[in-house]
Structure 1
Amino acid sequence: MVRAEGEGCWIWCGAISKPDGYGRFTWQTGGERRTVSAHRIALMIHQAAELPEGIIGEHGCCEPLCVRVDDNHLWPGTQSENINHAVALGRHRGNLPVMGSQHRWERSVLVRDAVRQGWDEHAYHRACQKLGWDEGQLALW
């Protein structure tokens, strides 16, 4: 994980799921392998417990690789709340994302690779712009 300066995102620099572009974390315990989204793991660590059934991670910062749990970045919510929030921000039209899944994954890989050696705001923005995202748009799809 790489932390942006100040109140910025904490960018996951590990595995990225395809096609959705979210970070993912895999571990094995008791002979069983489990894979969970990185932002869900961040919420579980923050709450020191599994998340209840039906609770997901909601990104207020609009960065799918962000694992910073606070009121401006990532918090627990329901799928319905998450979709309503995404529609309000223009990330979704109805229940469909505005950006295609391949594009989302490619963007996340570019972002991760741009900052994995340490936070670099210019490298972050260059990575976002390579696929047509500009600073006037929200980062999450």
Structure 2
Amino acid sequence: MDTRDADLKKELNATLQARRELGEEYDSALVDSFLEKVDQRLDGVVERRVRRQLAEQQMVVARGARSPQQSTDSWGERFGFGIVSLVLAIPLSAIGGGVAHLPGLLVAWAGIVGVNGAWAFRNSPGFGRRGKKSADSDWAE
């Protein structure tokens, strides 16, 4: 249990103790007071989260990298890469097949498939984010 949870637990215990001392006629005022404190806590957490996300986006823009919204390539980029790959495959196949016959053709196509596979993997959602988990909680800030 971190200190923020302990503070909230203390507030709840104090509210319950005040209810015991003051009686049921003050229930709504005590509940409203406690909920106001919870609302303030949530507002602080949301504000910190928004500030953190804005700072991360500014860092991405400052580094010249793509923003998370731009990380997925458009259909046109994928289609264009596929067309260029097939156009370049024709002379590569001719050269590989002409020089080393079947082994040369297989090497040329292995290279084409390898380049396309690497491009597809690099542009897949989540590339570079595997295993990255936030170690700190929003409540613990």
Same fold (TM over 0.5): no
Which of structures 1 and 2 has the bigger CA Rg? 2
Structure (1/2) with the larger strand percentage: 1
Structure (1/2) with the larger helix percentage: 2
TM-score range, shorter chain: under 0.3
TM-score normalised according to structure 1 size: 0.19
